[in-house]
Structure 1
């Protein structure tokens, strides 16, 4: 009799644990500093309207198996074999507020344009802050930024200043891949209303907003939101709503790596940075006339018009408008190993805060009536660009 009571009690305990598990949501997160470890975040979801068994579903996976508009490989597997021995970074959570980006960038620019002081790099500053906060920028204090800036200006190295060297090295490499081409030396070409061309050299922000000056857009942080065309997945890009025909501007200089139709992204353009670490993906370009004189392998300069906003995509047939609202889908992939470009361990970051930084610089455009194309009045070339 006693054994039956104990068995019944155990059964009730197990049942209670199951019920408790089903009514709670659990998140599982790997350490950002776990070099070489692929991160997936899962959510235990119980749908009260369904009798189906509770399942683990990914809620954020920057190394997504597939992506929709971003994917140039949505219908094929490149055959890349998984190599767990490789130690390249497989996960990046880029969550730096634009206010911090601007503050660090200002110190970088001010010190690089003043020959009487030691130059201080914004990537070093941001990496030190991230290592101090464990990646949680809600802890940010301006005094911390000043402390690190003063010490770097005095000649100290980031490795000396960080209490967590492993985290500092991780963030240095991760942020270097994301931000590496956005500040630096540039040669700026500007075309006045009367056609006069002015060329100047400088140091500073050398990226542009993807929307030309004078063209309206709206946006919100939609990274990770659900998408269902073709298969259920997460949105690993950023949608900027605008009007059909709006000139789309090249954010950062690089090579045209991908061009043409994608069933998810419609007419799209993929541009790889010169250092190979960033891949900018522009999707849903205009039907019939999506691009402005582009071809694979062409070098495109930051600030130049690359095409026009549209509604194409979500169709296996080419040149079809199947997107409900005109918008630009822009994605930014960071690449630490060649296998990541089209493989199963891709890393796409949330660019919402970055778009606010890019907004600082918008390229004015003009219409060439003879060519029936819009061209930029302002663009930049980089010293490291190939001849």
Structure 2
């Protein structure tokens, strides 16, 4: 009987100890999960303190690792209109600041966010509120501001452009403007069709996601530089065919134009290191690619593969850490500004009709290195389809 009580007591003690052990294990596991989640958020949302104007040094690990650019076209368009309308008033507002504020308030969930809320923010600013005060307690405002600045930073500002003028001897005159200075990648009066295909499946070579945007059109359609920059890539890529890569002057954006025309893919004046202005003709739509051999048409439907890569650190330029964003909303926005072109019958080249003076173009553009044909899975996914 005594032995039975002793055994019962020991069993009770074992159960108590077991419960304590389990409880400690649960607490330890919860703590580990919290650290893991926090680390993932920090990894994805870490913002760079980049004051040098270019991409951060690869020795610096404090830079943005990932960007989901999910702002709908309607809000992009409205924010841009608010920026333009207010730029010469006493209370100018930045469309990038408006969108970053909105994203940090809605957690990057735009389903129920309307243009009215952007209007309310502008009204608060016009009535004396400061953006610094509105955003002081918003943990991720700085992240969204840097991320959206990287996406949108080269598209809006002051510039001069030629406009038609029948009274001028040349038929044109220069006009100073503020507004959208980025251009549609397809020239004016050339039709195209598209849809939001970012992330759709591709299977040439291997199964992967499509990290660009396809604009279907006729072979030979003039392709336009969306933003000014320096040519970093010019040549053949197994996936993208004849392609051009242009790096923005602030080094944050890499614009990728692929599947260009067989035999005559580019403006013949272009080479690695060439400087282009927004609105310049850089190449011609085609269907090259999906071939190890050069100058082969293996794409069924002629189209331009247009991609935008963000680079916060040079280590992100090539490899599995590349950041490509959905440009479909941007392409819709850029439809507002299409470059008028004319054909030179002797050279068969197309050139812009109205020149531009963009103050963002430096007198001495930054030196760039040639981009080889990218071979990683991420690069292949972004290279064309």
Quickly name the TM-score band, shorter chain normalised.
Answer: 0.7 to 0.9
Partner Cα distance (1:105, 1:379) in 2: 23
Q: Could you tell me how far 1:209 is from its partner in structure 2? A: 0.7
Work out whether 1:297 is the aligned partner of 2:273: yes
- TM-score of the aligned structures, taking structure 1 as reference length: 0.76
CA RMSD of aligned residues (A): 2.5
1:130 matched residue in structure 2: 103
Partner Cα distance (1:224, 1:92) in 2: 14
Q: Secondary structure at 1:159's aligned position in 2? A: helix
Aligned residue runs from structure 1 range 152-301, under 5 A: 152-162=125-135, 164-190=137-163, 196-292=171-267, 293-301=269-277
User: Which deviations, in whole Å up to 9, do the C-alpha atoms of 1:23-63 show, x marking residues without a partner?
Assistant: xxxxxxx7999233389xxxxxxxxxxxxxxxxxxxxxxxx
Partner Cα distance (1:313, 1:32) in 2: 40
Work out whether 1:362 is the aligned partner of 2:338: yes
In structure 2, relative to structure 1, the CA distance for the partners of 1:180 and 1:35 (3 Å cut) is farther
User: Which deviations, in whole Å up to 9, do the C-alpha atoms of 1:103-135 show, x marking residues without a partner?
Assistant: 1111111111x3x42211000100111111110
User: Which deviations, in whole Å up to 9, do the C-alpha atoms of 1:320-359 show, x marking residues without a partner?
Assistant: 1110100000000011111111132000000111110000
Aligned residue-pair number = 315
Q: Secondary structure at 1:218's aligned position in 2? A: coil
Aligned residue runs from structure 1 range 1-387, under 5 A: 34-37=41-44, 86-112=61-87, 114=88, 116-162=89-135, 164-190=137-163, 196-292=171-267, 293-387=269-363
Is this contact kept in 2: 1:206–1:380, CA < 8 A?
Answer: no
Partner Cα distance (1:227, 1:339) in 2: 26
Q: Could you list the runs of 5+ residues in structure 1 that have no partner in the other structure?
A: 1-29, 40-81
In structure 2, relative to structure 1, the CA distance for the partners of 1:38 and 1:133 (3 Å cut) is closer
Identify, as 1 or 2, the structure richer in helix: 2
Q: Secondary structure at 1:307's aligned position in 2? A: strand
Partner Cα distance (1:216, 1:177) in 2: 29
User: Which deviations, in whole Å up to 9, do the C-alpha atoms of 1:217-256 show, x marking residues without a partner?
Assistant: 0011110011111111110000000000000011111111
2:378 matched residue in structure 1: none
User: Which deviations, in whole Å up to 9, do the C-alpha atoms of 1:132-151 show, x marking residues without a partner?
Assistant: 11101112133321221123
2:14 matched residue in structure 1: none
In structure 2, relative to structure 1, the CA distance for the partners of 1:195 and 1:327 (3 Å cut) is farther
1:16 matched residue in structure 2: none
In structure 2, relative to structure 1, the CA distance for the partners of 1:120 and 1:211 (3 Å cut) is same
Q: Could you list the runs of 5+ residues in structure 2 that have no partner in the other structure?
A: 1-36, 47-57, 364-385
Q: Could you tell me how far 1:379 is from its partner in structure 2? A: 4.3
Partner Cα distance (1:98, 1:31) in 2: 31
Is this contact kept in 2: 1:267–1:286, CA < 8 A?
Answer: yes
Is this contact kept in 1: 2:105–2:138, CA < 8 A?
Answer: no
Q: Secondary structure at 1:385's aligned position in 2? A: coil
